[in-house]
A and B are shown apart, each in its own frame.
Chain A
Amino acid sequence: MAIETIDTPRQLATVRSAARKVLLNGHPRISVGTATCGLATGAQKVLDALYACRAELQLGQSPIPISISETGCNGACFLEPLVDVVLPGQARITYGNVQPEDAAGLIEAACAGTVYGKRIIGRIDKEEFLVEGTSRNYRRGKLADEVKEVPRYAALPFFRDQVHLAMRNCGIIDPTSLDEYIAKGGYAAAAKALTEMTPDQVVDEVTRSGLRGRGGGGFPTGRKWATCRKAPGEPKFVICNADEGDPGAYMDRSVIEGDPHSVIEGMIIGSYAVGAHIGYIYVRQEYPLAVKRIRLALKQAEEAGLLGENIFCSGHSFTIRINRGAGAFVCGESTALMASLEGRVGEPRAKYIHTVEHGLWNMPSCLNNVETWNNVPVVIARGADWYASIGTQGSKGTKVFSLVGKANRVGLVEVPMGITLRQVVEDIGGGVPEGESLKAVQTGGPSGGCIPAELFDTPVDYESLTALGSMMGSGGMIVMDSRTCMVDVARYFLSFLKEESCGKCVPCREGTSRMLQILTRICEGKGRAGDIDLLHDIAQGMIDGSLCALGGSAPNPVLSTLKYFAEEYRAHIEERRCPAKVCRALITYSINPEVCTGCMLCLRACPVKAITGERKKPHIIDKLACTKCGLCADTCRSNAIEVA
């Protein structure tokens, strides 16, 4: 559909009501979650199968038009590929782990206005218009019995405690459609800010909302904007940091893939507030789909006149450019990011003069992360008071976490600030697999820390996590169970940080390397008596001495594990023992002859032929040849492989 230009709030309203009619047009609508997580599990095949089935159906006599579209991820990555079907007059039904074979059945059921019998996850009764604070029931008349039987989202443990603000449109709208974004109330906040509010009022609203930077530091967004607004110098810049690099964290990717216009709208509002006319989105090249989606969204917004000269006839002009990061973790640091934007090597500089005053090309620059920008339209549309009513005293609103690791239900979860870690990990994430016990959760990415299970009643907010020696960070949450060795975890994160240290300053470059050296020898059973003290000394030196936050927070994985899991370090160093049975140098594999059935599976699985034996007789592992890869234990059906 050709995009009309939208020059006034009134025109926006016209487009909105037209688009909303299409959205609620009474046709069955099928949407497939094709964010990266969906695609990785085969969503493209499901989508293709659905198209094929529909084409077949339309060749025949079927009178019912069905719309099929792509959508982002609603967070339930463990259920991908996800397919949503809106049954007109009934409800929105979500199906999970859908396979291409289900396509025909899904289409048939959708045409018949009924529920496909398999793979049902839950139902949503209302189309929410979050930025407006309204909703529309799908139901017209009586709800069919089979629909009634589908559990509501509110009854599903994964969704029950979640509040989707940032992910308001993710998994709901078609991210390639500007109309659908507008239909959900999109760009209304920008229209309101630009035509009804002064820049100072916008800054004030954001300040009062208590919104804090979602990228890790948690700096109050309103205060940042106010400083940037006051800073002398022209031109000013607004920048979106989409260089998400923490291992296991992918909320920014998902937001861009599922709802790119929300970020653009936030940046329009921000540019108006601080007085900038040029914006940059620094997105990593490793997110090809996100780059594609944001690029398309920019094009659409430009064509619609939502970016460019005189937006909403307000006199405010703003354009956005995309810069792709080449994959350096440190470029997520604001000064390094700006250096990279300027075309220089992405290395940080001392921040004694803040980037809001002297940033990109030495000009006042307001940098926020994807999720922060995405929250801005909600703040403006619903008002600071409403926004501030969610969350805790010091941390307002919601936060998206990527819950990964050993949890039963992994995915993106958006929860109000102040919810406890236990609720996130156990209620939403469903705890760890049976037979294992929950051990710790690692928050805040590589610079965060590990929080032990005993402290899971801690509320999730900026201050509480920092007090525990971890941090909110960008929102990675890696669940660890009894099979995880905490020394090994610290070693892993340090190896990541050592690789990613830019090497400019001595404490970070040499310090991460020395820490890794020590952790590696502990994991290899060569730990020395003074190693723990030495780790503490290096950590302190790095915290005090490093140039940027990467080095300053790099010791966190070590310090937090030393603090909460000192016993494990001691076992490694003094007893040459890895209690979690992970560190290869400290464990041996053997076969329990009582249990072994002699099935020869392990024998065939062993890549180094370290297992010998005859059929139906207990096998034996040659401990000298064994590389401790664990493949035998994975293949054994009778649990005869023992690790000690």
Chain B
Amino acid sequence: MLDGLQVEGRAGETVLSVARRRRVSIPTLCHHEAVSPSGACRLCVVEVFWGKRSKIVTSCIYTPYENDRIETNNDRVRSVRRFVLELLAARCPGVDQIRELALEYGVDMPRFEPDKDARNERCILCGLCVRVCDEVVGQHAIAFAGRGMERRVTSPFAEQAEECIGCAACVFVCPTGALHFEDVDGRRLMKELHTEVPMVACRECGLPYTSAKQIEKVKSRLRLSDEAAALCPPCRARAFGGRVERILAKDRKAAFPWEQSASFAFESAEALSGK
């Protein structure tokens, strides 16, 4: 039962997935279909009832049992979400996405004393960047360091991340714009991650479009010819007329069971090269 309606889910399917299929909106910040759920932001909470007992669970992880009665938007659920958003709004007052969500839940001004450098804080520690790098890209270049309020996303020892291939999937998945990259003089700079990666230029047009490490990574996973790999997407489209893209799409499906995740990493690269 989802909000009073009898619904059916696939075996092992989460509440969030069922709800989204039925167009029931549940807010999330740390969830992405491409990576494993974490349950860290606590925004997607719902209340599950078994008879008279009930419990707050995170819908991104909880897989319901038969006869579970789930409410996705009752007072208790909304008050947890409001609380989480109030905390996040106090942590990151400069992030519009958070402020808008918070307003939606009736949080105008957080009741907490502002922190000194809260203005500059954009990271909510959802961990999507870390999970994308681990699970989709497979590089494990970044991770959490520190505990509690000291927790932060960073490269090992806050130095150049040797494993980083500069794909910037972390930047694209970040829901609050806490990570950035900048391509300057043939190098991709990722200042929050203390890392820069040299880029290679397109053989055709001469513009830097990706890093050598990323080409290697992509080639190790997909059947991509050297000629195709040496071109930036616009030049590639001109040269191969979309044929390569179709092969890629097919390969992606074959190479990874989680189709979306593969395409995700790839799209990030493509989006970059489009610039």
Contacts and interface: CB of A to CB of B under 8 A. Distances in A.
Interface of A: 328, 345, 349-350, 352, 498-507, 509-514, 517, 521, 530, 534, 537-538, 540-542, 544-547
B185 interface: no
B1 interface: no
A349 B39 contact: yes
Contacts of B39: 349-350, 505, 547
- Give the dominant DSSP class at A's interface: helix
A545 B84 contact: yes
B140 to A, nearest CB: 12
A248 to B, nearest CB: 21
Contacts of B63: 352
B80 A514 contact: no
Contacts, number: 105
Given A503-B125, A503-B149, A506-B88, 6 more contacts: A352-B62, A504-B125, A506-B124, A546-B42, A547-B40, A547-B42
A352 B57 contact: yes
Contact of B148 (A350, A509, A521): A509
Contact of A507 (B42, B90, B144, B148): B42
A502 B76 contact: no
19 contacts: A345-B143, A345-B144, A500-B147, A501-B148, A503-B144, A503-B151, A504-B40, A506-B124, A507-B80, A507-B84, A510-B91, A511-B83, A511-B87, A514-B112, A521-B113, A540-B83, A542-B83, A544-B80, A545-B84
A514 B86 CA distance: 11
Contacts of A544: 45, 56, 76, 79-80, 83
A350 B40 CA distance: 9
Contact of A501 (B40, B57, B127, B147): B147
Contacts of A502: 147-148, 151
Contact of A509 (B43, B56, B76, B149): B149
Contacts of A507: 42, 80, 83-84, 87
The 8 closest A-B pairs by CB, nearest first: A541-B83, A503-B151, A510-B87, A501-B148, A545-B80, A503-B148, A350-B39, A350-B61
Q: Give chain B's interface residue range (CB within 8 Å of chain A).
A: 35 or more
Nearest to A551: B42
A538 B88 CA distance: 13
B211 interface: no
A544 B77 CA distance: 9
A98 B88 CA distance: 57
Nearest to B150: A503
Interface in B36-73: 38-43, 45, 56-58, 61-63
Contacts of B58: 350, 547
B124 A514 contact: no
* Residue of A345, A512, A545, A546 contacting most chain B CB atoms (<10 Å): A545
A423 B9 CA distance: 55
Nearest to B61: A350
Given A514-B87, A530-B111, A545 B56 contact: yes
Nearest to B110: A514
Given A517-B112, A534-B111, A545-B56, A505 B42 contact: yes
A541 B146 CA distance: 24
Nearest to B126: A506
B90 A509 contact: no
Contacts of A503: 125, 144, 146-151
A635 B214 CA distance: 70
Contacts of B80: 507, 541, 544-545
Nearest to A503: B151
